[in-house]
Amino acid sequence: MGLSSIDPEHCFDLAETLHSGQAFQWLPHRHEGIDGFAACIGELGPIWLAQPSARQVLLRETDEALARTYLGLDHDMPAIQRTFPADDFMTSALDFSPGLRILRQPLWECLATFITSSLKQVAHISAISLELRRRFGERRDFDGQPFFTYPSPAALADAGEEALRDCALGYRAKSLHRAAVAAVDGTFPLVDLETRQSREDHERLRQALLELHGVGEKIANCVLLFSGGYWETFPIDVWIERILRTVYRKRLKGARLQEWANQYFGVNAGYAQQYLFHFARKTL
DNA sequence: CTCCAGGTGCCGA
DNA sequence: TCGGCACATGGA
């Protein structure tokens, strides 16, 4: 199978993007003698991605369309970054990883992994995600190595809460199982919610997410940002809250802090948030 | 051992 | 509406 090369056009960093706490499945993988990363995306793949130089992303020809969407290679980064505030910390965060992109992940995979993320470190979210894939996902071999799709709602619903608990999920097992059941019985209409046509879709998806047990403001916002592509959405986790308190001197809480952040960081506040989060986590 | 991690639901004031 | 607390698990 032939390889394709994509020129990202704007500044793009594959490794930073795949390991910035948005997606949790990417593993180092050498393909045809080239070091890169491989994983399944939702029910697709595995796909392999490499970036031997700044203006060159390598992948298999058949994966090109999927990769462009997933990696956000069509994002107009200069235009997006011009909407960020120009304060010192924001500037430092941009300088630290100028090639960071917001991914566009499948809804179920993104929702399910973030349900398992509450009060967990990124490394452990990855471990949990991998275990769920290995136990309940579909095996797909690539270069003689096994990869696994993210388990479908049906697979997790059938597995049962106790089996999920065995994957070190703790109290999150109930939330994940109930979400899987909701997706299967249509209470949470995955396919409808994943299509994005009108302006109302944002609020529709947000409301549906918040009705799920175990999904609050933070997780709903992560899904809106990392799957829905709603870049104005600004998730506030412990890292971001710490930054807003210590760097930006904000003593506000909850909805008031959220309101301030959305106002201050602008129309692409969520995109800005990812630079802040990554910078803080890697340097503080 | 203690503290913390990309939080949420529920309780009482 | 708002603060306090329980909830599982593993790494630092």
Using the CB atom, is residue A123 less than 7 Å from strand B?
Answer: yes
Angstrom distance, A51 CA to C2 C1':
49
Residue A157, CB, strand B, below 7 Å:
no
Query: If 0-12 CB within 10 Å is exposed, 13-18 middle and 19+ buried, where does residue A90 land?
Result: buried
Q: A119 CA, C9 C1': separation in Å? A: 10
Give per-residue pLDDT as tens, A56-111. 999 999 999 999 999 999 999 999 999 999 999 999 999 999 999 999 999 999 99
Which residues are CB-contacts of A76 (< 8 A; sequence separation ≥ 6)?
Answer: A10
* pLDDT, mean of residues A217-234: 98
Counting Cβ atoms within 10 Å, is residue A61 exposed (0-12), middle (13-18) or buried (19+)?
A: exposed
Q: How far apart are CA A150 and CA A91, in angstroms?
A: 36
- pLDDT tens readout for residues A133-159: 999 999 999 999 999 999 999 999 999
- Please report, in angstroms and rounded to a whole number, the separation of the first and last CA atoms in chain A: 43
Tell if A24 CB is < 7 Å from nucleic strand B.
Answer: no
> Is strand C within 7 Å of residue A120 (CB)?
yes
User: Which residue is closest, via its CA, to the C1' of B7?
Assistant: A118
- The dihedrals phi and psi of A24, each to the nearest 5 degrees, come to -130, 15
Q: Give dist(CA A90, CA A123) in Å, integer.
A: 25
Whether residue A1 is predicted with pLDDT greater than 80 in this model: the reply is no
Average of per-residue pLDDT values in chain A: 97
Chain B positions with a protein C-beta closer than 7 Å: 4-9
pLDDT at A196 > cutoff 90:
no
* Nucleotide nearest residue A175, measured CA to C1': B8
Q: Which of residues 242-261 of A touch strand C (CB under 7 A)?
A: 253-256
Q: What is the mean pLDDT of residues A22-43?
A: 97
> Does at least one atom of strand B sit less than 7 Å from the CB of A101?
no
pTM exceeding 0.85: yes
Q: How far is CA A8 from CA A42, A226, A229, in A?
A: 23, 19, 19
A281 touches strand C (CB under 7 A): no
For residues A272-279, average pLDDT: 98
Name the band, by pLDDT with cuts 50, 70 and 90, for residue A284: confident
What percentage of chain A carries pLDDT values higher than 70?
Answer: 100
